[in-house]
Structure 1
Amino acid sequence: MRITRKSSIMTWWLCGMACDRLTATRKWSMPRQCLAFSRYSITSRRSCYRNHRMTAQIQSSSFTSDATEEEDDTIRDADDSSKSQSTNKARPPQKAHRLPPLQTPLDFPDWAYEPRDFFRFEILHQSAKSQARVGRIHTPHGTIDTPGYVAVATNAALKGVDFRHADQANQQLIFANTYHLLLHPGADLIAEAGGIHKFTNRLDRPFITDSGGFQVFSLAYGSVHEELSSKGELKRAGGKSRHYRNDLGKDAVKVSEEGAYFRSYRDGSKFLLTPESTVQAQKKIGADIIIPLDELPPYHIDRQVLVESVDRSHRWEARSLQEHLKNITQQAMYCVVHGGIDRELRTKSVEYLTSLPFDGYAIGGSLGNGKQELKELLDWMMPLFDEDSSTNRRGKPRHLLGIADEESIRNAVVRGIDTMDSCYPTRVARHGTILTMEGSIKIKSGKFARSFGAKLDERCNCTTCTHYDRAYLWHLFKANEPIAVSLAAQHNIQYMSDLMSDIRQEIMDDKI
């Protein structure tokens, strides 16, 4: 058959007429691309038209009026209601889900309670004025002077700071996140590289890794600040966030006795984190100190839900410890004390977790709505760690999770905290906040445009303060130069190291 321009136009016109007729009678329209004119596609357009007409016929066979649909819905609802009532009458009472028993100290071997030859904490001086103390933690990859600040390297990298600069600033312990490292590059790859120390070429400084519990919280609630601001409102599926939302329901994560189930924020793949799997991952990563899986409940929470969360964390942490003891591999494990600001639950958590053979104690969970509430929490909780016990509570290091502004550090140190971690110094550096002994400054302010020759901090000897002045750093930030963030972060890391050194000296002199 010879295809001419005239026959092509005629076929296109006939298809259009047919589509108009179907559109008017069946509330159906043909896709625009099917009506596009092409002198070489008459046969394909006919096939497309035929397929869409068949679709329209199928749709029309199931088409009913609105009144009919409403009547059907009424009848269907009545039938469902009667079925539901009859089903409810015949349904036997539901049995309560039986939770596994909480492990006791007797469930752990006697040798687990013996001191570790590769991990040791010594107290060098106890302040005569407060609970503050100066100590030293010995690990397979170096010592940690306490009280000490722990910098956070989420993906095994400090934001804007090379590890060499961090080492020069005497930054000893670095905090990496197991959750992020599991997603990329993967625990197996880090193990293949020889562990996190060889992978990062940081061979003579210690690492600590968390379990991923905080990331479970952040996927559900965002940051701690966001949770406090929203009064505990969950992030909903499809909400505005850079994280993926799962299809397990309206909540961002699903927590069960088995573990935490959520999606990867990188590619959306499903991910299950259990007490056993997070310990196995941390074994492959190879940090000096590891953390068991725990659940971080929000500040705004019903007490009964908090009770269930604390009990679940205790069971998870005991399971994590059992998995850890199968192959210690020269790693210490800290427990995580929970209970929010509830005195009874915090006391219960301290009593239970310190009875198990953990190597140190981390204080986690919700720590209050502000610095004052944190201080009050530590006032009555920290003396619990000084009580005599068979597991030598006082002789083990205590870590405060996620707190590292200067005021909170000083409040924590005088109450007996040994180490604390936070991304605060590097985070504020990215926004142009410089930490100094005279207080923080906003380097983007125009008043620094002519601060020629003025160091960021007169007492600081970091690379930034040695080579550049405030005017130049002001220029770099205003010009959006990437090096500005790096220079500011390097200085803030040095400031934190100098601050902790000063605090240790104040304790030695019994000034605090």
Structure 2
Amino acid sequence: RKTMFFPSILMFQTFPCFGGCSKVFSFKRYLTIQSHAKCVSVIKGYRFCTTSSTDGDLTGSNSAKAMENTPAKSSSSKKTKRKQDPMEPAPPASSFPSWAFDKRDYFRFELVHQSKLSRARVGRIHTPHGVVNTPGFVSVATNGALKAVDHRAGDAAGCELMFCNTYHLLLQPGPETIAAMGGLHRFVNRDRPIITDSGGFQVFSLSHGSVHDELNMKSRAGRNNWANTVLKVREEGVDFRSYRDGRPVHLSPETSVLAQKAYRSDIIIPLDELPPYHITTEKLTHSVFLSHRWEARSLREHLKDLREQAMYCVVHGGIDLNLRKHSIEYLSSLPFDGFAIGGSLGKDKDELIDLLRFLMPHVPVDKPNHLLGIADEESIRRAVPWGVDTFDSCYPTRVARHGYLLTFDGVVRLRQGKYATDARPVQEGCECHTCRNYSRAFLHHLIKASEPIGSTLMTIHNLHHMNAAMARTRQAILDGHV
């Protein structure tokens, strides 16, 4: 039996043990006795606990004795506490065990073809739950489910790798529930590859919004009473308020990894900080160094129990090319299994492509790479020649729910009245379920009537279109056109 430490999630009024212990304490009382308490629950043979110097329960005399024996913290001890240097370098590659650099027999990248015209390439990512063809589109299932469609429909539309979100699944239903169900694949009943992120992106992006929001001086605070506010970012991790009920939550590199271990996803991502677009070079540098230290801690936690999971690092640095180079040089020296390009990727597509033009030649070619959160068709078309393997975005499913259908001839806006009597399918020759069975006129009617099935049918088409477009892209590379 292996012991893993999982700090509890704090609540305003009560403190339940993360593993489901029945003992509940007030938040104030928890703060008093937290360093002496230990609650343990066993999930699938693993022990999740909050640890302390006192190996006892939290009830009656034991907790009283624990509090009585607590040495008072003097003011001098606070003064002597070492302040974290924001420029402290992350651990070097030599601090990791030599076996960590060995190739994984359960995860590998296979290069099928390298273009002679560009850095574009065709490959295959081999995972325990199947193969992912690259360049490929990664569908987003934030809460473990694609919006408006089930996994069978998504699989039929050609979806291979699916992206689930640690932040949302951490809050509902929780890692302990998913672990008890045998992991994400069994929980959602899908036997294809799954990738999960660390949760950090949602924590920070929900706080200060997207780059678009920031440039337009918009804030998401007005949309939610709790404002999804980041309470504090420190060396240990990040404290934030839950978007569901406003309770304080602490997320650290270790807890993020342990949550993803409970999910048993094929590819996991370490915790990183996502700074806003408008930030000074000094603060951006501090953020990159912090992300590197967090990622090294995440990797160290991951290596304790591989569970046939691969871990991608996240390359940071914003649009500062020197910091990007520093980030990829450091992270490529560590035993990560792939590279995710994250952080602020620019205010528009031109800045994104300029960044990729500089960065991609520095990314190791023997491992897969992923562009986080970017998967609109124009960005994919411009990024593939620079060697990007996979792209994720909720764009196809989101626009489908608003009546925007993707085709090889452009976007069809089905809300427009001119489609009310259009008997054609959305895309001539498309083999998706929607195009084989329904007309534009009927889909237009469903939108106007606010029928939920309309979102389902249009989402099926958009997912099918994205995967068909990626198949065309792969063939174009093989044929020497890209």
Fold equivalence (TM over 0.5): yes
- Could you tell me how far 1:221 is from its partner in structure 2? 1.1
Q: Distance in 2 between matches of 1:365 and 1:215?
A: 12
Query: 1:150-169 alignment to 2 at 5 Å?
Result: 150-169=138-157
1:498 equivalent to 2:449? Answer no
1:354-433 matched pairs, under 5 angstroms: 354-385=332-363, 393-433=364-404
Q: What amino acid maps onto 1:429 in structure 2? A: A
CA gap 1:173/1:240 in 2 versus in 1, 3 angstroms: same
What corresponds to 1:24 in structure 2? none
The CA deviation at 1:254 is 1.7
Specify the alignment match of 1:211 in structure 2. 198
- The 1-side partners of 2:379 and 2:284 are apart by 25
Aligned to 1:242: 224
DSSP 3-state at the match of 1:167: helix
| Residues 336 and 364, structure 1, Cα contact 8 Å, conserved in 2 | yes
The alignment covers a number of residue pairs equal to 403
Aligned to 1:395, the other structure's residue is in SS state coil
Q: 1:398, 1:152 → 2: CA distance?
A: 17
Among 137, 142, 148, which residue is 1:149 paired with?
Answer: 137
Q: Secondary structure at the match of 1:355?
A: coil
What pairs up with 1:203-352 in 2 under 5 angstroms?
A: 203=191, 205-230=192-217, 239-242=221-224, 244-245=226-227, 252-352=230-330
Corresponding residue for residue 481 of structure 1: 451
* Cross-structure match for 1:175: 163
Alpha-carbon separation, structure 1, partners of 2:177 and 2:81? 46
Say if 2:412 is the partner of 1:441: yes
Tell me by how many angstroms 1:434 deviates. 0.3
- C-alpha contact (below 8 Å) 1:121/1:396 kept by paired residues: yes
Asked whether the equivalents of residues 158 and 463 of structure 2 are also in contact (C-alpha less than 8 Å), the reply is no
More strand by percentage: 2
Pairing 1:112–2:100 present: yes
Specify the code of the residue in structure 2 equivalent to 1:336.
V
Q: CA deviation at 1:96?
A: 5.3
Over 3 Å counting, the alpha-carbon distance change for 1:103 and 1:384 in structure 2 is: same
For the pair 1:196 / 2:184, whether they are aligned, the reply is yes
CA contact (8 A) 1:219 1:253 kept: no
Counterpart contact for 1:123–1:135, Cα < 8 Å: yes
| Matched residue type, 2:475 | Q
SS in 1 for 2:436: helix
Residues 89 and 289 of structure 2 are in contact (CA less than 8 Å); yes or no, is this contact kept in structure 1? no
Return the offset for 1:253. 3.5
Return 5+ residue gaps in structure 2 as ranges: 1-78
| CA displacement, residues 135-178 of structure 1 (integer Å, 9 cap, x when unaligned) | 00000000000000000000000101210011111210000000
Take 2:445 and 2:225, find their aligned partners in 1: how far apart are those partners?
34
Indicate if the aligned counterparts of 2:151 and 2:190 stay in contact, CA closer than 8 A: yes
Q: Do 2:110 and 2:125's aligned partners in 1 also have CA atoms closer than 8 Å? A: yes
**Structure 2 Cα separation of the partners of residues 490 and 94 of structure 1:** 56
Whether the 8 Å contact between 2:405 and 2:413 is mirrored in structure 1 is yes
Alignment deviations for residues 245-278 of structure 1 (CA, whole Å, 9 cap, x no partner): 47xxxx6432111111011111222100000000
- Contact 1:220/1:253 (CA < 8 Å) preserved in 2? no
Structure with more helix by fraction? 1
**Alpha carbons 2:112, 2:121 under 8 Å: kept:** yes
What letter matches 2:432 in structure 1?
Answer: C
Q: Which digits, 9 at most, give the CA deviation of each residue in 1:33-65, with x for residues without a partner? A: xxxxxxxxxxxxxxxxxxxxxxxxxxxxxxxxx
The Cα of 1:222 is off from its aligned counterpart by: 2.2
**Contact 2:369–2:389 (CA under 8 A) maintained in structure 1:** yes
Runs (5+) with no aligned partner, structure 1? 1-91, 386-392
CA contact (8 A) 2:400 2:462 kept: yes
In 1, the alpha carbon distance for the partners of 2:419 and 2:132 equals: 37
Residue matched to 2:430: 460
SS of 1:417's partner is coil
Identity %: 57
Structure 2 CA distance for aligned equivalents of residues 188 and 95 of structure 1: 35
The match for 2:126 is: 138
| Mapping of residues 20-35 of structure 1, within 5 Å | none
